[in-house]
Structure 1
Amino acid sequence: MASFALKRILVAVLVAFTVSVVSFTVLRLSADLAQALAGEGASSEQVEQIRISYGLDRPLALQYLDWLGNIIRGDLGESYYFKQPVSALILERVPVTFTVATLAIGLALLLAIPLGICAALNRNSWLDRLCLTTAVVGQAVPSFWLALMLIYIFGLHWQWLPLSGSEEWQGFILPIIVLAYYAMPAIMRLTRAGMIEVLHADYIRTARAKGLSLRAIVTTHALRNALMPVVALAAVQFGFLLGGSTVVETVFALHGVGYLSWESIQRADFPVVQSIVLMFSMIFVVLTLASDLLNAAIDPRVRLQ
């Protein structure tokens, strides 16, 4: 287990380094940051002065090394627009994004796994078709459209919930539903496929021949193996909910990290955008590593592979 974990950690570090290089280079080359900061009416002398003052005239490799050195020391820089430390800005917004994403993935798992099990146990029945239809619709419906529909129905028409804002806990209900519905289809379909495959295994037929009840077979024997791929998928989906919350937070005016990234992109606030991209990338790497280690702990065959 130790050698397996060491290999996975080494791969995670290499992936994190590659992501940092690619994201830094792409964001730097996507636009002239000095021109964006100076504004459209700025003269060439003003643009050049800004370029020199922010170190944008230096070679890209040196800019990256300086930025990486500051990151290692815990210094994310200062926001061009807010004139505050980037770390303070992000830490102020993280609780909103983390709360919504955590509750959303929890709700998605709570609904998707039982539905996937029921669909597998009743394969080709009306319940199975209903679950698959729900999954297809969930993958096809854009999150912003669903968010707007929920705002219209529950906020404007029935006036049960607030339209936007994170000042009250009721303002989190609709965003959580939207993100949970976005994550449900993949989890439900993978649970269904895993259960169907496991239920046809030899050891399940042996358990049935011994006279075990269906509940015991599902909970004790089948579910553990069927949910192994779901663990990895749930980790990735949680990362998607954290990193992909920009649209939902913007629609519902939730002042989380996603909304901060949208504000920073609009204002060409490079240090904030770069730090948010790096943070979400590291979250993906850590979640993937955690799912690999958890699967290895659940099933020793993963370590042998």
Structure 2
Amino acid sequence: MTSFIIKRLASAVLTILVVSALTFSLAFLAGDPAIAIAGKDSSAADIARVREYYGFDRPVVIQYGEWLAKALTGDFGRSFHYQQSVADMLASRLPITFGLGVAAIIFALAIAVPLGVAAAAKPGGLIDRFALGLSVLGQAMPTFWLALLLVVLFGLTLRWLPISGNATWQHFVMPTIALGTFALPALLRITRAGTLDALRSDYVRTARAKGLGAGKVLFRHALRNVMIPLVSISAVQLGALLAGSIVIEQIFALQGIGALSYDATLRADLPVVQAITLIVAVFYVLLTLVADIVNAILDPRIRESW
């Protein structure tokens, strides 16, 4: 197990280094950062002064090394537009986005797991047809459209929930439902398919032949194997929710990193864009690492394959 963790950790570190290099290159792939800061109508002399002030005239490798060294200490520089520390800006916004993402994945799992297991227990039944219909509907429904429906119904018509801001937990109810619905179809399908495969396996037939009840067979034997792909897809979905929360944060006026990344992109605020991209990517890699370790604990064959 120790060898497996070390190998996966080394792979994660290498992935993060590659991501950091790609993230830093955003400043140059988007064009000359000095022109973006000074403005397209600025004179050549002004652009040259900006390039020298921010160090853009130095070799790219040196710039990347200094940026990475500072990033490792939590220093992402200062925002070009807001003239504030990027780290301070992120410190107040990261908890909002991470909290929303975690709440959304919990909401999706709370519905997908029991419904998927119940659907697989009686294939072709009423619950199974409802689960499949819900999966198709959730996959086809745009997240922003669902968010607007929730605002109209619960915010404007019934006036049960606030429609903007992040002052109380009530402000996160509709965003959680809208964002969690995005992850629900994949989790539901994985749970249903995994449970069906497990129930049709030889070891489950053996357990039934020994006289074990349906509940014990389902939860003690079948659900354990379902957890392996479910853990992996949950990690992927959580990373996708964090990266894709921009629209939801804009609709509900949540001041998270999604809304900040949108504003920073419009204003070509490269330090903010770079920091957000790197943090989300690192979090995504760490989620995958944790999921692999959990799966290796659940199934020894996974760690033996490395």
Question: What TM-score bracket applies, with the shorter chain setting the length?
Answer: over 0.9
Per the alignment, residue 3 of structure 1 pairs with 3
Please report how far the alpha carbon of residue 288 of structure 1 lies from its aligned counterpart in structure 2 after TM superposition: 0.4
Per the alignment, residue 34 of structure 1 pairs with 34
Give the Cα–Cα distance (whole angstroms) in 2 for the partners of residues 28 and 8 of structure 1: 31
Q: What does residue range 199-210 of structure 1 map to in structure 2 within 5 Å? A: 199-210=199-210
Moved more, 252-261 or 154-163: 154-163
Q: What does residue range 102-251 of structure 1 map to in structure 2 within 5 Å? A: 102-251=102-251
Secondary structure at the counterpart of residue 124 of structure 2: coil
Structure 2's unaligned 5+ residue stretches are: none
Give the Cα–Cα distance (whole angstroms) in 2 for the partners of residues 222 and 281 of structure 1: 33
1:157 alignment partner AA = T
Asked if the contact 2:79–2:86 (Cα under 8 Å) also holds between the matched residues in 1, the reply is: yes
Give the Cα–Cα distance (whole angstroms) in 1 for the partners of residues 180 and 187 of structure 2: 11
1:191 alignment partner AA = T
Asked if the contact 2:115–2:131 (Cα under 8 Å) also holds between the matched residues in 1, the reply is: yes
C-alpha RMSD of the superposition: 1.4
Give the Cα–Cα distance (whole angstroms) in 1 for the partners of residues 34 and 248 of structure 2: 30
Give the Cα–Cα distance (whole angstroms) in 2 for the partners of residues 141 and 50 of structure 1: 46
Per the alignment, residue 274 of structure 2 pairs with 274
| Per-residue deviation, residues 196-239 of structure 1 (Å, max 9, x unmatched) | 11111111001111111111111111101112100011111111
Give the Cα–Cα distance (whole angstroms) in 2 for the partners of residues 126 and 233 of structure 1: 26
Give the Cα–Cα distance (whole angstroms) in 2 for the partners of residues 25 and 18 of structure 1: 11
Secondary structure at the counterpart of residue 179 of structure 1: helix
Q: 1:228 to 1:265 in 2, by over 3 A?
A: same
Per the alignment, residue 58 of structure 2 pairs with 58
Secondary structure at the counterpart of residue 87 of structure 1: helix
When the two structures are superposed, what TM-score results if normalisation uses the length of structure 1? 0.96
1:121 alignment partner AA = A
Moved more, 7-16 or 156-165: 156-165
Structure 1's unaligned 5+ residue stretches are: none
Secondary structure at the counterpart of residue 78 of structure 1: coil
Asked if the contact 2:155–2:161 (Cα under 8 Å) also holds between the matched residues in 1, the reply is: yes
Moved more, 92-101 or 32-41: 32-41
Per the alignment, residue 22 of structure 1 pairs with 22
Moved more, 28-37 or 79-88: 28-37
Per the alignment, residue 100 of structure 1 pairs with 100
Per the alignment, residue 258 of structure 2 pairs with 258
Asked if the contact 2:231–2:291 (Cα under 8 Å) also holds between the matched residues in 1, the reply is: yes
2:157 alignment partner AA = H
Give the Cα–Cα distance (whole angstroms) in 1 for the partners of residues 194 and 68 of structure 2: 42
Please report how far the alpha carbon of residue 125 of structure 1 lies from its aligned counterpart in structure 2 after TM superposition: 2.2
Per the alignment, residue 82 of structure 2 pairs with 82
Give the Cα–Cα distance (whole angstroms) in 1 for the partners of residues 32 and 151 of structure 2: 38
Asked if the contact 2:86–2:271 (Cα under 8 Å) also holds between the matched residues in 1, the reply is: yes
Give the Cα–Cα distance (whole angstroms) in 2 for the partners of residues 33 and 149 of structure 1: 40
Per the alignment, residue 70 of structure 2 pairs with 70
Please report how far the alpha carbon of residue 151 of structure 1 lies from its aligned counterpart in structure 2 after TM superposition: 1.2
Please report how far the alpha carbon of residue 194 of structure 1 lies from its aligned counterpart in structure 2 after TM superposition: 0.5
Alignment size in residue pairs: 305
Moved more, 120-129 or 7-16: 120-129
Give the Cα–Cα distance (whole angstroms) in 2 for the partners of residues 16 and 73 of structure 1: 15
Structure 1 moving runs of 4+ over 4 Å: none
Give the Cα–Cα distance (whole angstroms) in 1 for the partners of residues 143 and 24 of structure 2: 28
Moved more, 69-78 or 272-281: 69-78
1:218 alignment partner AA = L
Give the Cα–Cα distance (whole angstroms) in 2 for the partners of residues 152 and 47 of structure 1: 48
Secondary structure at the counterpart of residue 25 of structure 2: helix
Asked if the contact 2:76–2:271 (Cα under 8 Å) also holds between the matched residues in 1, the reply is: yes
Please report how far the alpha carbon of residue 62 of structure 1 lies from its aligned counterpart in structure 2 after TM superposition: 2.2
Per the alignment, residue 286 of structure 2 pairs with 286
**Alignment partner of 1:44 is 2:39:** no
Moved more, 136-145 or 194-203: 136-145
